[in-house]
Amino acid sequence: MKKNIYIIGSKGIPAKYGGFETFVEKLTEYKKNENIQYHIACMEENSLKSGISDEYFDYNGSNCFNIKVPNIGPAKAIIYDILALKKAIEISKKNMDRDPIFYILACRIGPIIFHFKKIIKEMNGKLFVNPDGHEWLRGKWSFPVRRYWKFSERLMIKHSDIIICDSCNIEKYILHDYKKYNPTTHFIAYGTDMKKTLYDESNKIVRKWYEDKNVREGNYYLVVGRFVPENNYAIMIKEYMKSQTEKDFVLITNIEKNSFYEKLQRETDFLSDDRIKFVGTVYDQDLLKYIRENAFAYFHGHEVGGTNPSLLEALFSTQLNLLLDVPFNKEVSMDSALYWDKRPDSLAQLIDYTDHLSNQQISKLKLKASNRIASSYNWDLIINLYEKIFDEG
């Protein structure tokens, strides 16, 4: 008997961006258990980027279904989850699935989850939830929106059968803050791609990128990530400007139409420091891997959320990693990275210290980091854990 798993909450596959999208892509691509059938909700606009306009389509052996979502601003993701879950239940009923599982990524629809949980229970199904990170702490949200996220999270946890946390620290938080609901939790991290770049230094795409950006291999600190306040770009830039390093600071991020960029420019005057280089986005994955592999060191300033995919990629690819000292980052990296905090001069001093590390010291940290990823964050391990929990249902 097939075990039918409906996954709601990612923008869909083929993956174009984002941690949840990559997770769903790998979960379906590397599926081992033939007893499991995945059904993936996809946002129509994401599918169109891959030239897929059909309402139903097959990808990685999964039954995918497109959801058309009106463009209504910040509430769009909430409406998408509601429409996707409603559609998933319709498909499951039509297929007369036995004991289906509905796995919702993120806690956006708490206020109405009771309605859906009642239907799922009547179908003898189960509701699984991945709470993601602390969405209610993100700086981009206004106070009322943060209150909504916290309220929604509480209701999602209350009505879940199983909560899958991608971070041990998120799991501890769920068990502590929502102990009155006696939640059943499981820790399953994200995985990451452990393939090296296919490009070498003579590649035309590589050479053009480095020449256009006026950057040299091995002579830059790097950051890759969403350009939002809670990723601590302001601290990283201010501290970099205080440091004595002669290396560049390369920022791969999307700053178009971003008021935060203008605000940061006014606050820090980073345009006056020619070491700081915003170079836009890089969608060529082999080029991005090459840039990571040939950075002198990587900065990670994320402080809101669980296991961050960009951190996993950096630990595997980059020789040296300088991380914000918060539990989420330490849980992943342990003693394979160097840490800084938000106190004035903490990062600036670490940069100056890092500049004088020996090749032997750097190699030792690099080996620890890649071993950490290979042992605990490989997709093979993650897929096994997910398939076990889905099969046991």
Give the number of other Cβ atoms within 10 Å of residue 68's Cβ: 10
| Coil vs helix vs strand at 161 | coil
Q: Which of 53, 56, 50 is nearest to 21 (CA)?
A: 50
Q: Give the pLDDT of residue 5.
A: 98
Q: Give the pLDDT of residue 324.
A: 96
* CA distances, 342 to each of 46, 52, 235, 315, 323 (Å): 37, 45, 7, 21, 11
- Domain at 204-376, CATH class: alpha beta
d(CA 167, CA 185): 11
Q: Does domain 3-191+378-392 have CATH number 3.40.50.2020?
A: no
d(CA 315, CA 295): 12
Q: Give the pLDDT of residue 304.
A: 74
The helices-and-strands tally (H runs, E runs) of the chain is 15, 14
Q: Give the pLDDT of residue 75.
A: 86
Residues of the chain with CATH 3.40.50.2000: 3-191+378-392, 204-376
What values do phi and psi take at 108, rounded to 5? -90, -25
Query: Do the Cβ atoms of 354 and 249 come closer than 8 Å?
Result: no
d(CA 55, CA 42): 10
Q: Give the pLDDT of residue 140.
A: 62
d(CA 332, CA 313): 12
* CA distances, 338 to each of 28, 168, 238, 302, 350 (Å): 35, 21, 19, 15, 8
Q: DSSP secondary structure string, 162-183? A: EEEESSHHHHHHHHHHTGGG--
Q: Give the pLDDT of residue 132.
A: 80
d(CA 312, CA 333): 9
d(CA 169, CA 166): 9
Spell out the per-residue pLDDT of the chain, length 393, in tens: 899 999 999 999 998 767 889 899 999 999 999 999 999 999 999 999 999 999 999 999 999 999 999 888 878 989 999 999 999 999 999 999 999 999 999 999 999 999 999 999 999 999 999 998 656 556 566 667 778 888 999 999 999 999 999 999 899 999 999 999 999 999 999 999 899 999 999 999 999 999 999 999 999 999 998 888 889 999 999 999 999 999 999 999 988 878 889 999 999 999 999 999 999 999 898 999 999 999 999 999 998 777 888 899 999 999 999 999 999 899 999 999 999 999 999 999 999 999 999 999 999 999 999 999 999 999 999 999 999 999 987
Residue 282 DSSP symbol: -
Q: Give the pLDDT of residue 141.
A: 62
Q: Which of 368, 370, 211 is nearest to 279 (CA)?
A: 211
Q: What pTM was estimated for this model as a whole?
A: 0.90
Q: Give the pLDDT of residue 303.
A: 84
